[in-house]
Amino acid sequence: MISVNVYNESGLARLPKKLITSIVSTVCSEEKITVADIRIILVTDEEIHRINKQYLQHDYPTDVITFQIEAKPLEGEIYISADTALLQAKEYNVTISNEILRLSVHGILHLAGYDDDTSEKRLMMSNLESKYLNEIK
C-alpha cells in the first residue's frame, strides 16, 4: 500500500494534493514500489535553506530535498520550496501546480534510487519526470 501525505507549511501556494497523490502512486507503481509511506512538505526558501545547510552542508536554498528514512518498506520525506517552485514555474512557463508536481516526481525518483549527480543521470531523471507528468494529463 502506498501512503502519501501532503503538507503545506509555506503559506505561499495552493497544493494540488489529489494530483500529487495520484502521480506519486503512478510513479511508485511503475517503479515497482508496492509499500511506501511518503510525506511531501511544501516549505519556504528560508526553511529549505536551513534544511539544506543543516543536513547536507549546502549553504543555499534549493528546489527540492529528499530524505529516505527507511528502505524497506520505503519511507521518505520530500521538501519542496514554494518560493523556488514559483520562480521556476515562471522560468519554464508552466503553472505553479505543474512545477510542484514535477518536483514531487523528482523526489520520488530519488526515493526509487535514481541520482542526478551527472549530466547523463540528470537527463534520464528529466525524461522520466516528463513521462510521468504526461501520464496524468
**Domain range for 119:** 2-135
CATH number for the domain harbouring residue 16:
3.40.390.30
List pLDDT tens digits, range 15-67.
Answer: 788 999 999 999 999 999 988 899 999 999 999 999 999 999 999 999 999 99
List pLDDT tens digits, range 57-108.
Answer: 999 999 999 999 988 889 999 999 999 999 999 999 999 999 999 999 999 9
Q: What is the pTM of this model?
A: 0.94
Give the single-character DSSP code of 31.
T
Q: In terms of Cα–Cα distance, which of 107, 102, 106 is closest to 16?
A: 102
Q: How many separate domains does the chain show? A: 1
* Residue 46 · residue 53 · CB < 8 Å: no
* Residue 99 · residue 20 · CB < 8 Å: no
* Residue 44 · residue 12 · CB < 8 Å: yes
